[in-house]
Structure 1
Amino acid sequence: MYLDFLDSYHIRMKKIGAYSILFRNSIRKDRWKKYGFEEYDQDNMLFSVLLYIMEQSLKEEICTLDNIASFIDDINSMYYGKAIIYEECKELGDFIINNVLCNEGKPMYFEAFNYNDSKYESINISFVRNSIEYVDGVKRVSYKLTDNGYSLLLSTLELEENLRFTVNEIIFREHLKKADYGKAVDDIKDIFKDFRKRVQKIESDILRIRENPLSYSIEEYKKITEGNVELLDSSKKKYIAHREHVDEKIKEFNEKNINIEELNKEEEANLEKLKIIYDYLSRTIDEDQRILRSHFSLKEVYSRELENMSKMSLIERFNLKKEVYDKILNDLNKIENIDILLRPLFVNEPEKIYNLNKALVYEMGKKGKCGDDNEIISFDEDEFALDEEKRKQDKLAKYKGVINVILELALEKDSISLGEIKELLDESNELMSRLIPNVQIFREVVIEMLKNKMISVEEIRKERKNTIENDEIAFQLNRCILDVIEENSVLSKIEFINVEKIENSEDIKLKDLKDENGEYKNFICSNILFEIKI
């Protein structure tokens, strides 16, 4: 019997352990009864206090014992109706925090069986943590939820996506601040997955609307669109700030490695994790933009389909049974004219006729003046295949030439814009011919680089090792970039290539460029920044 479904059992039991320890600590305490709380009242009050602490943590506001006492006093007077005064509410809050949630300061452990190692594994559980805050110049203890506390409460309710994004970003930020890069990697991967799921959900909703607008309710539309723009705009700023912070950390490690001494194993591991975090932050920001685009597409499609539905309501319809069938049954004489109704359904295509005028038209000869009566055309299939392969190889070489020029120019100054490249092209015809062999090839390379945005050379190498390549000669950006870097020793130190549009910049216009047919055309596109990291 295969038991691989038990491989992650001890990880699952971490969530079960949180519930187990929490209820065990609560049930064992008789002090609840002093304040009139029995059975279900205890559990409801306990989770209400936890939710209040989470709310304060999310708003990044202080949560002292006085705040908790006021909260208990308010909900008791409005809902529970226990005969306790404010001072007793404060005692109850102290009891919940220090005795139930903090276990009187003693560490809490849950024993989960690890089927991989065939032994029990001690899992540390904690729900709240405290910090010292100054309120009106007075030192006070403020309480916040731990990761276990967040996981416990978030698992009790399927949160709205907006709130889940906020909570996940806060947890990621805390792990980043504590330099716990292992957990930060897991956090940012989960955030990226949530963003990707949201994109797919919006695209799925767009498909539903196109198939049947009436199947998509106004409540669903309101839920998925309300507040999206504001939330995503703020989240983009946060993740860009996180990416800049991670980039600074990576530079610190690299400078230490170059200027002082080699990194130890722990520092090397942290550097690799930071690079993974940076890559996923870039991908998350891209997904953020996809959500924005999908958001506006959803609004446009929904409005258009509803408008089309309203137009269809103006079409006059009639009931065939009532207007035709029933009337014929009431008066059989009307069946004589039924052909008037049915005739349009059986209209045949017009018959083909012989055009006599075509027979009298003088037909011009198809051969040239010097054409022989019997023209012999030879066809060598092998020769044709070799010519076709040579043509594809020449075209692929041109693609690589464009990439090589871009990387060389960007490497000189770490980054270069398309506007700066245009100035260089005006001064050198040779550079022009290397960079833009024809408009189509240059355009295709730029578009593919913009699609990928952040390109990791190391990831491309790993991808090549794990991929069986076919012999087809075709343009693939990653494959061409790796070939160019391996063939040109000057470019061998490149690790990352970042390509992005420069906001609020004038479009770049390149004049008199040849296309595949040798015709001259103008090329206009946004200003683009090519950035190299080594």
Structure 2
Amino acid sequence: MEYDFLQQFAKRMNSVGMYAMLMKNSWQKTTWKTFDIESVEEQLNIIFSVLLYMMEQSLEEEICTIDDIAAYLDDICNHFFRKRYSFEQSNALADFIVNVVLSDEGRAMYFPCFDFEKKEYIDTYISYIENRVVYLEDQTKRTSYKLTDQGYNLILSTLEMEGNMKLSVHEMIFRMHLERSTYDRALEEIKHIFNLLQIRLQKNEEALNRIRRNALEYSVAEYQKLLEENLETIEHTQDEFEGFAKLVRKRTLELEQANINVKVLGKEDAKKLSDLQKIERYLQDALAKHQKILGMHFDLKELYTRELEQLSQMAMIKRFSLRKELFDKVIEHPGRLTNLEYFLRPLFMQDPKKIYNLNRCLEPQKAIRKEKEEETQELIEFDAKEFEAEKERKARKRLQKYKESLQMMLELAYIKKTITLKEIAGREAAIQKKIVCEVGIFKEIMVELIRNKEIDLVALQQEKKESFDDNSLQFHLQEMIYEIIKEQGWSATDIIVERMEPQETVTFENVPDRENALTTIRCSNVSITIA
């Protein structure tokens, strides 16, 4: 029997698989109980709240680190979900959702979808988010997260439809609200349209980057599908949006002329005028996105064609082994050296001889000045070993600053058992200068201390005895603490780091950054206890 309705079953199960993998990674995880989240409903609501935040950050092309997600969770959990979390708990919850639930602890996620045409299961790769390394304003290295195409589809499928149909439906609803003068609803629809165009633009950018990396990894089917989607978007978006813009300007003018003095507009009319002005701005931005998509459409065609041509030309190049085709044959028959030019000629290809063109004599002549390099040029000697040695010396010098800052902080804590940043800010200038020697160094030390919260020195010493030292020139908090404890001979067992309540602000003034520009650091008060 023929079951035509099962032809797209694997594609349907791919969409189901995105929800199934999310439930699998979340359900029955005991970690949720540490955040007082018991039911599956609460888990899913918080997970999708995080995914929506990541989508907004991705659409706006903003950095989205674990700290940003933690701040967002801290706000919504305290105000809406009625979960009283500290910032450390919010940070731990953000780390759990991103790295365990959405990323499955770094393991590749596959969902078997049954294909009725092939009569077998096909493992479909599932990926919600991807990450990249970014550098903040103080050159601190962090990991930023954004949604993948599957992540976008997952979120959009909860409210919108898939493909270019979404754009057409939202345009139809937008037109309907404009005709009915329900401008608040029209404003929401134009925001959806703008977001869809932004996603289309990002999809083109990702396709360009994939083709630049390796054109063979970008299949012809993907290329054809993207071109068709772009053409469909370009075909009707330009005329539609220009018509919408004219209609919005007309409605705005009518509303302003009906109420000559804008200051005495009624509350309802003022709201309509404000919505119309916002709609007009979104339409202008959408038209700009449309032009970018149009330009990228042609760039994509040109780049894909050029890359494939270059790859085909490389495949046509005939290669040979010098030893087999030249050396061995010359040794067998030395007389063949007379034909050596056939091998060496390509290495000495010269420019073609110039032929004087008489027609150029009759043309107006312009002064042509060519900048010629002087034969006597300054020779710059470059020694790779010296360069690496200098680079290593600078890295060791900077690592020493980390060590001196952390050692002074731990010495004060060891003497007093507990030391706070507020107490450090009240100490002598020499001690402050040694601890807060540079903005980036001090910030990275405090971030790592707060993140670890409690360090078991006994377990740390046992771990270091059983491991090898890799002599890394990067800052690693626990390795440096072990080194300091070992040098000082302290008999401590634990280091505990806590934020002080109520939260106070501690200020350190005239702190140099990496370029020696002085700045002021304001941070929360933190206590460091050595037991």
Instruction: Say yes or no: TM over 0.5.
Output: no
Higher-Rg member (1/2): 1
Shorter-chain TM-score bucket reads 0.3 to 0.5
TM-score, normalised to structure 1, is 0.43
